[in-house]
Chain A
Amino acid sequence: MSTEALVGTKETAPPTGRARRFTALVRKESLQVIRDPSSILIAFVLPLILLVIFGYGVSLDATHTRIGLVIEDATPITQDLAASFQASRYFAVATGRDRREFEEDLVLGRVRGIVVIPANFADVGAAGGSPQIQVIVDGSDPNTANFVQNYAQGVVGTWMAQRAAEIAMRPPPISVEQRFWFNPELASRNFLVPGSIAIVMTLVGTLLTSLVVAREWERGTMEAMMATPVTATELLAGKILPYFILGLASMSLCVLIAVFIFGVPFRGSVLALYALSASFLMPALGQGLLISAATKNQFLASQLALLSAFLPAFLLSGFLFEINSMPWIIRIVTTIVPARYLIPSLQSVFVAGDIWPMFLRSIAVMLTIGVVLFILAARSTRKRIG
């Protein structure tokens, strides 16, 4: 194994001071990174896959949701309303005369909703009453169900306003001008891609580091290192430096792909990008070291890294799910998730530009969490020797 061989050569070399020791240590760790194909896989191949998925695949924007439209009685007014549904870019409409035609489709998820315009629609309207339409949705997916309900409301609202305007020959009383800043085309990739960069750095910083160091504990090479003149601090620093650089390299690759292939705008500065990423890697690497020192076992380390780093970065960071919508107790938990501070700042670097007050606050919090984790990791490493 390369590890043992390098440790061996290191011992025969004359120890001429701290700098030399440290260089040798970093060299050994770097070779270990480069020689193992799986670190390249996680640092460069997985980011590519993630970017493609987030750049093209995962989209929360429901367009052309399939619905069934039931017109129980075809009259000019119901046809007019049905045409509004068919013209909506949110729906792909199949029409029928009876709701039973679509009930099975709804159970099987082939349509997400059924809009029923009842037979008495025109009569009630002609008599001066308020006709009803029914929107039945598949509640087993509440997000899509909500979208369908809202869009259906929107279609009916617009249709009513148009008819009112035609009858009264007057414009609607309030005209709303709606502007989405930073991301006017509402491309969800513009906020998902920065988020996936945070996930990639979590994988490199925490998962990869914890596995590598846990393996050294498992094999006893960590103890062998401790017997050399290297101090615990040097040892930890030497361990993380290659992964720090690997993390930044992986991030840089992601940014290049995001900007040049996916066309995500980059309105902030490169300085801000690296300052934020470097600050994020501190807690990520600290967590990796702590996990490996606490478990000293690759299986446990992988499970802990998964549970305490990857899933929180994915689910508790505001990446896909809004933190404000979570129950208060979980909102408190999110305050110690480093990715929660990185993701909004990274999103801003990409689409909004440099917002330094926000960035500095994020950097300060991430570094604080990082320092705490490093102290804990150094302590559990030292305790082991004693």
Chain B
Amino acid sequence: MMWWIRLKALIIKELLAILRDPRGRLILVGPPILQLLVFSYAATLEVKNVDIVLLNQDSGAWSQELVNRIAGAPTFRGIERVGSSEALRARIDAQQAIAAVHIGPTFSRDIAAGRAADLQIILDGRRSNAAQIVAGYLNQIVNQLSADISAGRRGAGQTVIVVPRNWFNPNLIFQWFMVPNLVAAIALLIGLVVTALSIARERELGTFDQLMVSPLRTHEILIGKVIPPMIIGTFHMTIYILAAAFVFGVPLRGSLLMLYGSSIFYLLSVVGVGLFISALSMTQQQAILGAFLFMVPAMLLSGFATPIENMPDWLQPITYASPLRYFLVIVRGVFLKDLPLDEAVNNTLPLALIAFLTLAAAAWLFRRRME
């Protein structure tokens, strides 16, 4: 039982090192909650409150009809009318509007005469994602008008009604997507920095040598370093899961037990990467920057903000190295989809593998440094 007493002392010491300082306690609890609140509302790919510019050179009824329909769409916040193409260009240049609609002088006459009426839509390609979505909205409005004009004519084609059905998230609420994502991402963020610093700090302060001459064996030191960040990580995830369910109203359709079960392996893999970085670094600064060097690509290539399937084929294999990639599937799945057990296991096994490899590598570096 000696080993347990030794280990327990080390774990308590590790927890104290992080939690003793009141500012340290504050920073582990306050900002992550603030982040969840701010970022879950900020990180939205929806396009709303759009300002557009209108250059209408036509005085007929059809252009008026088109303008009314655009003004009536909830996406558009302000429509500024300008008198010249120079003014239109200036608005787009300065990003005061993301799109401009230019209606030529013969628009209504052409429609009345049955000729194809020209309409120009200009979009700001600097924000190509939002611009494409806005273009989609504008085209939908124009197509509908076009269809209504055709329906008024003889011999028009039949209309096909598209019935949308959104599974798992009927109203496509963006927070239902973002909040589970953030549960996983912030656990990575905090877990990585806390662990990466743990050995580097001791090395910088010189206490690492003291640890080495203590009766603790290498694997005991490693376990002592792994458990405290796991406790902190589990605490964070619990707060986040509670917030997701009770503050944001994200439905929890799957098994909570499965979520916690796989989160152990996720946290282990995060801590493993952190310890590996820590064992490599000589100073705290190197440890933090090293953690960053891993974290940024791990987040960007995980499917967190943009789907993996949009990435080029050669890049997709690299995403397999990011623990976040697997855990995102599990968190999103458990919250919204009632993820089947075998799929959860399929995504937990790679996490266990990452954890094993990084912890083994950290232990090896440890031992090598000792000699």
Contacts and interface: CB of A to CB of B under 8 A. Distances in A.
B42 A321 contact: yes
A347 B128 CA distance: 11
Contact of B172 (A142, A161, A179, A321): A142
Contact of A191 (B126, B133, B292, B293): B126
Interface stretch (B7-15, B232-240, B283-291, B356-364): B283-291
Given A173-B149, A177-B121, A320 B162 contact: no
Interface stretch (B211-219, B221-229, B262-270, B329-337): B329-337
Given A62-B310, A173-B149, A175-B116, A46 B292 contact: yes
A141 B177 CA distance: 6
A147 B105 CA distance: 34
B56 to A, nearest CB: 14
A203 B293 CA distance: 11
A279 interface: no
A106 B167 contact: yes
A72 interface: no
A160 B157 contact: yes
Interface stretch (A5-13, A240-248, A292-300, A370-378): A292-300
B123 A315 contact: no
Contacts of A65: 309
Contacts of B31: 303, 307
Contacts of A283: none
Interface string B164-189: 11111110111011000000000001
Contacts of A207: 288-289, 292
Given A135-B162, A168-B156, A177-B120, A141 B307 contact: yes
Interface in B122-137: 122-133, 135-136
B80 interface: no
A307 B177 CA distance: 21
A156 B140 CA distance: 11
A327 B168 CA distance: 24
A324 B48 contact: yes
Contact of A136 (B41, B167, B339): B167
A325 B49 contact: yes
Contacts of A49: 293, 296-297
A172 interface: yes
B114 A170 contact: yes
Interface string A137-159: 11111111110011011101101
Nearest to A1: B283
Contacts of A166: 157
A320 B160 contact: no
Contacts of B369: none
Contacts of B46: 142-143, 146, 322, 325
A109 B293 CA distance: 29
Interface string B273-304: 00000000101111011101100110011000
A180 B128 contact: yes
Contacts of A64: 309
B8 to A, nearest CB: 24
Contact of B306 (A58, A161, A176, A203): A58
B49, B284, B333, B336 — most chain A CB neighbours (10 Å): B284
13 contacts: A42-B292, A49-B297, A58-B306, A59-B306, A63-B310, A133-B163, A157-B143, A173-B116, A174-B117, A191-B126, A207-B288, A299-B201, A300-B23
Interface of A: 36-39, 41-42, 45-46, 49-50, 53-54, 56-66, 81, 106-109, 125, 128-146, 149-150, 152-154, 156-157, 159-161, 163-168, 170-184, 186-188, 190-191, 203, 207-208, 211-212, 215, 295, 297-300, 302-304, 306-307, 311, 315-316, 318, 320-322, 324-327, 330, 333-334, 344, 347-348, 351-352, 355, 357-358
Interface of B: 21, 23-24, 27, 31, 34-35, 38-39, 41-51, 77, 92-95, 111, 114-133, 135-136, 139-140, 142-143, 145-147, 149-150, 153-170, 172-174, 176-177, 189, 193, 197, 201, 281, 283-286, 288-290, 292-293, 296-297, 300-301, 305-307, 309-312, 315, 329, 332-333, 336-337, 339-340, 343
